[in-house]
Structure 1
């Protein structure tokens, strides 16, 4: 991992100590077995957020295991060898804490926010869940019904549907094109043995990153994590190295799964509003041009002064919500323009989405738009790091996703370095890629 913050001697093997922003201190240690522990001590904060990041997501599921990653997110809260599901719930409720989990396409995170004095408890409970989940067959069947209801809720929201169908349209049969939560068919079909195999294969020391921010003492955190993982039966005596980050270029077989041409797709739902996305493949999560893409997206559809908002909502009154978005992953990403409108206006709105992307590609943005977009991104970045949860996520993603930890100053510098020409060149490249259109709404034949 590359550390861009100034290094300070750590005083112990396998650890790095860095100076963070606002008087915060960031440290990183690699434990025997490959577990990585990162912390950011934020002076004066009486709370802390800790997360156990596992380098596995829906992208990693193989045939017969589809849906297992999301299943595990639920099942790890349903009991371990030492705790029942009620024990886990009571542990956090008794101290006014919050605990939750999130599944992504490339990683899963189990996290909790508690008072700093309760951090040892949070570490112990989350480590217990990660190492010692029982995956009880009865609980699995109960949770199968819960997950099916969750998927049904998602399917009832046309905005969720259009985004999932857009990813599938752009990425085709690539593993990233699958929905994170699985489908009703895969959730109904996956057996307990497959979920157990998925758990035992992916939940291992070399895939685990523990990140904490707030009122955190790094040395104490390392000791707590080590003790909790050993109590869960993990062997931390070996010299196993952490699992490497995902390749920055997709493999040939994965690349072949991505459609070479744009896809036109209409999904019929009896709803009051049509939802439409126009877009294509984007940039990988580690592409150096990701800062340029952020500026491009801010100017095109990132706020009330953006081109999409001004043209589609303010001038024409065709939509309440319209924006652009980008999602980056290992080796590939997506980029799209969204709008929700009256079904009768969907063709006009779709044409405007195309037109605004083409206009940006042809003429670029103005100096005023660049300045406004850079200011918007800088403010959002700084404000987004005002709480321990966001800083914990920053550490986890730096280790698992980016492979580098940029200081706030360096991140701001990279945003400010984007030029008008950078934006125009990237817009032209994106506009030239095969473009897909996905609509969800009450359309006839």
Structure 2
């Protein structure tokens, strides 16, 4: 079994031949890392500016010290609102005039600003993204305007009962940990956010040592590096003060054994014809060697229309339109969950069926047919995803931000193929060893959960 490709932080240049394509990586003395993957015959490229700071890195006010809760999501909005050389309208039209797909996302452990453009427009999009990330002015008037926009965004999310259930599950299972907080903040943190605190957060956290820039598709690495360094003011090495060289920052592996919490069912009454039901428990952190067994277990249990949850709950009994399982892994902790939406009268039955299927997997594992089918599903879906430059661009960033280990498709499939039924049973057993936290949102009165 081949070992993963290493991304050492002290190696300035790295080239990986993919047999047709090529990955290249440059580490600048400032700590900035730039990675590209050239995709032969591509006529477009995806670009991402990844900052290794997410909602879980925010700090609450303590002993009169300023806090930053809500700042990460606020910045995601504000970086589109103007720089010394471009106002918000000019940023918007800069992307629209070239037909770019562009947006940003805030996650629990990182923030990303990205665009997908045709090859001829790669430099233009890179210049605008660099300006946004490095030179935002965080205008006072725009700050107040965007406060209202974010509150409307939170209100919209509150109308999606599936989103409400998901947020509440994280809060309950990861209670007491920053990972349990909602990514976008809440009404209170957004209303209380101060422009000076968000500006301080921006200046402290948005630094070359935390920045990773990735591109995939029709991209020339050397040319792309030249553009990024030029726009960040780092192109002239003779002007770079060696006394302020910085080591690139990678989120450290955690030594925390986060057991999570469990309480009474969390029932949230909302006007609805349905109940959105979630069951969850602590699961694997990033980099856990059991993640391949976990992936197969999750796929067999609730990963598609042939999965056990879908078949038992929807196809055989017609109790719900959809039913699935999912996982989320972070540096300090992870979460495994199961979801279904159903009429209130079916909620107890669905909950019992989901619990029973997880317990059956812990007791019996899976069949050879299920294993074969899942390996085919993983291989097919992974290969199809890698046809997209967005996926390849994101894959580079995630490898660089976390373990510093890069797995190509064949390396990953080798590890999935090596998983045994005993490993899958053991993985399921570790999940059922913890009580499942129940969350229900919707018409929950009198459910009896």
Counterparts of residues 25-174 of structure 1 (less than 5 Å): 25-63=22-60, 64-174=67-177
CA apart distance, 1:58: 0.3
Q: Is the 8 A contact 2:6 2:406 kept in 1?
A: no
Which 10-residue stretch deviates more, 180-189 or 396-405? 396-405
* SS across alignment from 1:334: strand
Q: Is the 8 A contact 1:207 1:242 kept in 2?
A: yes
* Aligned equivalent of 1:10: none
User: How has the CA–CA distance of structure 1 residues 50 and 149 changed in structure 2, closer, same or farther, with 3 Å as cutoff?
Assistant: same
CA offsets per residue over residues 118-162 of structure 1, 9 Å max, x none? 111111111111111000010011011111111111100110011
* Alpha-carbon distance in structure 1 between the residues aligned to 2:12 and 2:403: 20
- Match 2:190 to one of 187, 190, 194: 187
Q: Which runs of 5+ in 1 are unaligned?
A: 8-12
CA offsets per residue over residues 176-201 of structure 1, 9 Å max, x none? 00000000111011111111111011
Q: Is the 8 A contact 1:363 1:424 kept in 2?
A: yes
* Alpha-carbon distance in structure 2 between the residues aligned to 1:117 and 1:51: 17
* Alpha-carbon distance in structure 1 between the residues aligned to 2:240 and 2:363: 56
* Aligned equivalent of 2:253: 247
Output the TM-score relative to the length of structure 1: 0.94
Structure 1 vs Structure 2 CA RMSD: 2.0
* Alpha-carbon distance in structure 1 between the residues aligned to 2:309 and 2:98: 46
Structure 1's consecutive aligned runs of 4 or more residues displaced over 4 angstroms after TM superposition are 231-237
* SS across alignment from 1:65: coil
* Aligned equivalent of 2:221: 218
Output the TM-score relative to the length of structure 2: 0.93
CA apart distance, 1:4: 2.8
* Alpha-carbon distance in structure 2 between the residues aligned to 1:303 and 1:17: 37
Q: Is the 8 A contact 2:250 2:402 kept in 1?
A: no
User: How has the CA–CA distance of structure 1 residues 6 and 250 changed in structure 2, closer, same or farther, with 3 Å as cutoff?
Assistant: closer
Pair 1:430 & 2:431 matched: yes
CA apart distance, 1:3: 8.5
Q: What is the aligned length?
A: 433
* Alpha-carbon distance in structure 1 between the residues aligned to 2:183 and 2:279: 21
User: How has the CA–CA distance of structure 1 residues 233 and 308 changed in structure 2, closer, same or farther, with 3 Å as cutoff?
Assistant: farther
Which 10-residue stretch deviates more, 33-42 or 406-415? 406-415
CA apart distance, 1:262: 4.3
Q: Is the 8 A contact 2:79 2:136 kept in 1?
A: yes
Q: Is the 8 A contact 2:277 2:347 kept in 1?
A: yes
Q: Which runs of 5+ in 2 are unaligned?
A: 61-66
